[in-house]
Amino acid sequence: MSAEVLALREVMFRRNGRLILDDIAFEVAAGEHWALLGPNGAGKSTILSMCGATAHPTSGTVDVLGSRLGRVDLQELRRRIGHVNPRHPIRSPMTVEEVVLTGFTGTIDTPLRWQPSAAQLAAARERIAQVGLSEHREAVWPTMSQGERGRALIARALAPEPQLLLLDEPTTGLDVAAREQLLETVDHLSVELPDLASVLVTHHLEELPESTSHALLIGRGRVVASGPIHETVTTETVSRAFEHPIGVAHHDGRWSARALRSAPAR
């Protein structure tokens, strides 16, 4: 049986007295690739924050990489988690290589007087090659396309060899070609890093990589369905989560969704 990487059990979360999450439960094993699906405001980002050890539940338990939130050094735990956020706030003209190296320091910019070791530099360059950016290693952030930035952030997240990879709407702002390139990069990870577990947040089924193995559907802060993706992502469950009749299809490894036409009123 695969090792447990992540487990949320009976999780509730309140903010300013308002119930955001209610009785959330799911478990992620090594090598599994989960999609966290649901409409805006359903609580996906809050769940991902707990997976990334940046938020605590109001009640219930969250175990990440064998450590329970509330009983562990969070800084040390976060170093073992890779996080890809397309809104990563880089403002300085850093090169691709410099951006990827900040995966080791957990900072936005390169810390003053910090120098990577030879092993860290080699690992960064290996990850850059892995996402297809070797020829752009010296490209600076302001001149890069959104697609190149997305792949650079994946390399940054993978540089410290995390056991858990979190992707927060990684295709935000990408055109179709860049989206497909990024999803192809994510798919390759399941082959090249077979023990890596991942959780990807989106509200678009078209943005699911082919390697997605499981899904958690959320609606109004509650679990609508959870488990292997082909059992979980259906017309019925997606329609319930999004509170609208939505037809779901799966073809050639990819998912799609469209609104179902209601019968005309008589």
pLDDT over threshold 60, residue 20:
yes
Listed residues 115, 145, 161: the one ending a domain: 161
pLDDT in tens, 166-220: 999 998 888 999 899 999 999 999 999 999 999 999 989 999 999 999 999 999 9
- Do 243 and 205 lie in a common domain? yes
pLDDT over threshold 90, residue 88:
no
**Separation between Cα atoms, residue 225 and residue 237, nearest integer Å:** 7
Which pLDDT belongs to residue 262? 63
Q: Which residue type does 245 have?
A: P
pTM of this structure = 0.90
Give the number of other Cβ atoms within 10 Å of residue 136's Cβ: 19
Contacts of 160 (CB under 8 A, 6+ apart): 79, 80, 82, 103, 104, 123
Q: How many helices (H) and strands (E) does the chain have?
A: 8, 12
- Do 110 and 219 lie in a common domain? no
From residue 86, alpha-carbon distances to 92, 112, 222, 252 in Å are 16, 25, 26, 27
Phi-psi category of 95—alpha, beta or left, where left has phi over 0 and alpha has psi -120 to 50?
beta
Which pLDDT belongs to residue 264? 46
Listed residues 161, 195, 223: the one ending a domain: 161
- Do 3 and 34 lie in a common domain? yes
pLDDT over threshold 80, residue 2:
no
| Mean confidence (pLDDT) of the chain | 91
- Domain of residue 64 covers 1-80+163-266
- Do 146 and 167 lie in a common domain? no
Contact predicate 95/137, CB 8 Å: yes
- Do 177 and 137 lie in a common domain? no
- Do 7 and 71 lie in a common domain? yes
